[in-house]
Structure 1
Amino acid sequence: MGKLRSVPIVGGAYTDETRPYDQQECLNYLPEFAENQQSRSPGILRGVPGLTLLGTTGTDPIRGMRNVEGTLFVVAGATLYEIASDGSKTSRGTITGTGRVSMTHNQQATGYQLVIVNGPEGFVYNTASHTLTQITDPDFKGSIITDFINSYITHIEPLRRFWFHSDLGNALSYLSTDEYEAESAPDRLVSQVVNHSEVWMFGERTIEIFVNTAQTDAQGVLITFERQSGTVIEQGCAARFSPQAIDNSIMWLGNDGIVYRADGYTPVRVSTYAVEQDIAGTDWAEAYAMVWSDRGHKVYYLTLPSGKTWGYDVATRLWHRRASYELDIWRVNHLVFWNGKWIGGDAFNGNLYTLDWANYTENGQPLVSMRRTPYAHDSQNRIFMAALELLMDTGFETLNGDESVWLRYSDDGGKTYTNYRKRMLGDVHQYGKRIRFLRLGTFRNRVFEIMVSSPVKRDLIACSVEMEGAA
């Protein structure tokens, strides 16, 4: 037997539309790079947390979630629910509509006001009196998205001509004088994010930033917010629910199909050509984003319902994909940190899940992790491969033989693939089991797919091959 040598295995998702150029995939894996130069390998592909059922609100999809200072509220179907720590639910009233809602909250007296908007209507749930009230103030024009800053609730009105805010500390009361229009360009407003005491108003072509100045004009009229001088950003937003604050910055889907991250007031492209090619064929307006931060990972998840779910980890600056069984997207459509855990809501029913590192399924459904490697090649010279060996963290589960890793490959640029070959990851206490695939033949260009669908730990640490040039 010849000598094995290491080859790169850790990387992100980069499937170009020209497949013979690059077709890397990183599905339900989180790439990590070694922080210690003496680690066994330069990096690891770590399996993502699975989904453990916390509770269910029924069959209607989750429309919104909010952690109100330790109390979890969920809108599912037409009902607002308060969720207990054991996952049980209490109905708190009716929220009309069927689409995604926007939620925020403020503090008032001895409790909090939870604000929920669906476009034409707004609702306020008072956590002290346990009452849900529709906003009926005539100066409330409806709201497509809401946020909170300095005891004010901010809104964008449904026709997207201007934004406005509530009275101080009262989400039910409004004044028509507290309205603000875009000043630098006449584009319609799309979304908003409050970050670092600034209100970022995203338009179709530009972004304007407002600050709470509480100044009076020459006539003595209070001007609560003013546009930050010299901070117009010449980049628009394509989707109402795509902007998210993450890692002391903001990310969003631009009106050009590019994903941006703000560096101060400068939009920086973080999407790749491959991600942008995928986004190009979808309905941008329906995209929504979530953020998740755990164990050093800070991920911006962008779902295109007519496409895929993409995750950008600001720690590694790599993209990966999330997808649930028999879907191209991740079934989680909302994420909230609550009660010391990350809670996910389901886009297809009323289930609520705990993101669980020790669960290798999604509520019993297979959690399929797959890595498609970079091309193995030698400048079009023929290569003979005698063996490929994977280093994985084995020996933790006893599952009656259902603990396999699967391998297949393509030698024609991804047009066709071989059948999968299966190797066992090993039973309980079979630590350090060698996972070897032999007699892999000859090729000029080859990509490998490594897949695990069994409910076992699947961290992929390293890959070694035995190969040499062939005549």
Structure 2
Amino acid sequence: MPPITWPTGTAPGVNPTETGGRLINAIAERAPAGSRSEIVWRRVAGLIARFTTTQTAVRGALLVGSVLYVVSGNRVYSITSSYGVTELTGTVGGAGPVTMARNMKAPVPDVLIAHSGGMSSINISGASVAVFSDGDLPSVNSICWVDGYFIVTAENGLAYQSGLNDTGFASVDRTTAEADPDGLYRAIASGSDLILMGTASLEFYANAGNPTGFAFNRSVVVPIGLKAPYAVAGFEPGFADTVIFVANDNTVRRLQGYDPAPISGPDLNRLIEAVANPAELIAWVYQAAGHAYWVLSGPGWTWVYDVSTGSWHERQSYGFGDWRCRFGVAAWSKWFTFDLESGKAFELNSAARRDGANPLVWTLRSNQAHRFPGRAVIHKASFDFETGIGIDAGISPIETDPVVRIRWSDDGGRNWGNPLTRKLGTQGEDLSIDINNAGLTGRKGRIWEMTISDPIEIAFFGGAMDIEERAA
């Protein structure tokens, strides 16, 4: 029986009939040595509800010591490791995402927030937030911390540094991104490097300990820019320090040293190109089960790059075309993310098989099995799942007697038949998952699609078809 070919990365194609298969809420892992397949397909990490703010639209978060500070709406909240939520007095201006940074000032660090309306500061001791202003600064658009200094950027291409472990800025302690007259979108810290990101170039700086003026000297210039202010991630505390960003040529690129290597394909590049407002491109990161993930959301879609495997998959929330999550932050040896339209916060956990209270629907769509222009009669199709994965003490029937739904398309994915349901087995039950007499394929071949919404552990190892070839 020839095997059905399943993708290890999502590739929906510009048109349905050119698809290379899809992974939606599904990942492909290398199977253990000696397994019955080289690849095993599993479900992505689910969400566990942990705390809620009283405002909608989380805008950013930062861990300071053992306390997580979250900007939600125009408020700031402090959250403890036991998920106690306290609203700070005062408000944060602006709209949209924020960038946050802290220094190492002892015994209480300073925390600054850059947003579209200016800057704010968090008074940790006073549990308050207030407007931050400094007459030596212009209007700024991002902030980071590196080697003891706050670094802020301005759209006009200027970058300013604070005093050492201080919040004071001097007008002479600055530099200009001069490699290209493109202005600046972001400043980020990656390892010992300060990276100033413009719309047409990246400039790398190293701390030279200059006694006056800007403490950093420029070292390397990369002639490619950042497409949007929030389309970069991978430098966050607790992550693998792998900077990935959306470039000004509509590709996604991973910095390997000073080389911005492309990692996206034509499907994603076209999605990015079609975004009318680049500020809607939001990148963030998380880790689960030994995998490091870089997430990119645009209007109506979310793609995730598995840094560990080099493959992409898609994420969708139940009843929603996109993933409802934005922003990731590491805290208390866990990773958290936030609901797009509320103040809900979730822990990302590979043992969670739901998205909060909603189903987490695993979908795997095969490559096109075709012999154009010939066709084939499919006498039998077999699907190699780990069966007997029901839980006797679980919720009936979704945990005790889980199922997979299988459907197919013979016109390249334009139209689909009604799904057939096959049981995955109660606890310890050994089952075969087959579809007999699956009909005659079209000239474009056969695409199979499998979905599982039941909250159980998924392990899929592959499939095969018993076919009889027919002439066109």
Q: TM-score, normalised by structure 2?
A: 0.92
**One-letter amino acid of the counterpart of residue 115, structure 1:** L
Say which of 13, 21, 24 aligns to 2:21: 24
The answer to whether the aligner puts 1:226 opposite 2:217 as a matched pair is yes
- Once the two structures are superposed, the pairs formed by residues 228-243 of structure 1 within 5 Å of their partners are 228=219, 231-243=220-232
Say which of 133, 136, 141 aligns to 2:138: 141
Q: Is the 8 A contact 2:234 2:294 kept in 1?
A: no
Aligned to 2:164: 168
Aligned to 1:244: 233
Tell me the SS of whatever aligns to 1:279.
Answer: helix
Q: Is the 8 A contact 1:384 1:442 kept in 2?
A: yes
Alignment CA distance shift 1:457-1:160 (3 Å): farther
Say which of 78, 81, 84 aligns to 1:85: 81
Say which of 268, 278, 284 aligns to 2:261: 268
Alignment CA distance shift 1:30-1:261 (3 Å): same
Aligned to 1:455: 455
Q: Which runs of 5+ in 1 are unaligned?
A: none
Alignment CA distance shift 1:26-1:243 (3 Å): same
Distance in 2 between residues matched to 1:277 and 1:435, nearest whole Å? 37
Task: Tell me the alpha carbon deviations over residues 256-275 of structure 1, each in whole angstroms, 9 at most, x when there is no partner.
Answer: 11001112212111001121
Aligned to 1:182: 177
Aligned to 1:413: 412
**One-letter amino acid of the counterpart of residue 439, structure 1:** N
Q: Is the 8 A contact 1:110 1:128 kept in 2?
A: no
Distance in 1 between residues matched to 2:292 and 2:304, nearest whole Å? 10
Q: Is the 8 A contact 2:284 2:294 kept in 1?
A: yes
The answer to whether the aligner puts 1:215 opposite 2:210 as a matched pair is yes
How many corresponding residue pairs?
457
Aligned to 1:46: 42
Task: Tell me the alpha carbon deviations over residues 415-469 of structure 1, each in whole angstroms, 9 at most, x when there is no partner.
Answer: 1111111112222332x43222222111141111111122222332222322232
Tell me the SS of whatever aligns to 1:111.
Answer: coil
Worse-matched range after superposition: 238-247 or 365-374: 238-247
Distance in 2 between residues matched to 1:258 and 1:227, nearest whole Å? 25
Distance in 1 between residues matched to 2:117 and 2:312, nearest whole Å? 36
Aligned to 1:442: 440
CA RMSD of aligned residues (A): 1.9
Q: Is the 8 A contact 1:389 1:436 kept in 2?
A: yes
Alignment CA distance shift 1:103-1:262 (3 Å): same
Task: Tell me the alpha carbon deviations over residues 333-375 of structure 1, each in whole angstroms, 9 at most, x when there is no partner.
Answer: 0111111211111111000111132322111112111111101
Alignment CA distance shift 1:282-1:307 (3 Å): farther
Q: Is the 8 A contact 1:193 1:245 kept in 2?
A: no
Distance in 2 between residues matched to 1:226 and 1:375, nearest whole Å? 53
Distance in 2 between residues matched to 1:43 and 1:196, nearest whole Å? 34
Percent identity (aligned):
26
Q: Is the 8 A contact 1:6 1:465 kept in 2?
A: yes
Distance in 2 between residues matched to 1:68 and 1:396, nearest whole Å? 42
Tell me the SS of whatever aligns to 2:181.
Answer: coil
Say which of 100, 110, 113 aligns to 1:113: 110
The answer to whether the aligner puts 1:58 opposite 2:54 as a matched pair is yes
Say which of 188, 193, 197 aligns to 1:198: 193
**One-letter amino acid of the counterpart of residue 83, structure 2:** G
Say which of 289, 297, 307 aligns to 1:303: 297
Q: Is the 8 A contact 1:112 1:128 kept in 2?
A: no
Q: CA deviation at 1:177?
A: 0.7
**One-letter amino acid of the counterpart of residue 226, structure 1:** N
Q: CA deviation at 1:131?
A: 4.3
| Structure 1 or 2: more strand by fraction | 1
Say which of 329, 334, 341 aligns to 2:327: 334
Alignment CA distance shift 1:406-1:160 (3 Å): farther
**One-letter amino acid of the counterpart of residue 409, structure 2:** S
Alignment CA distance shift 1:187-1:239 (3 Å): same
Tell me the SS of whatever aligns to 1:277.
Answer: helix
Q: Is the 8 A contact 1:167 1:174 kept in 2?
A: yes
- Once the two structures are superposed, the pairs formed by residues 279-358 of structure 1 within 5 Å of their partners are 279-283=272-276, 284-304=278-298, 306-358=299-351
Distance in 2 between residues matched to 1:447 and 1:433, nearest whole Å? 24
Tell me the SS of whatever aligns to 2:271.
Answer: helix
Worse-matched range after superposition: 370-379 or 124-133: 124-133
Q: CA deviation at 1:254?
A: 0.7
Worse-matched range after superposition: 280-289 or 337-346: 280-289
**One-letter amino acid of the counterpart of residue 377, structure 2:** F
Q: Is the 8 A contact 1:401 1:427 kept in 2?
A: no
Distance in 2 between residues matched to 1:66 and 1:248, nearest whole Å? 16
Q: Is the 8 A contact 1:13 1:319 kept in 2?
A: yes
The answer to whether the aligner puts 1:99 opposite 2:80 as a matched pair is no
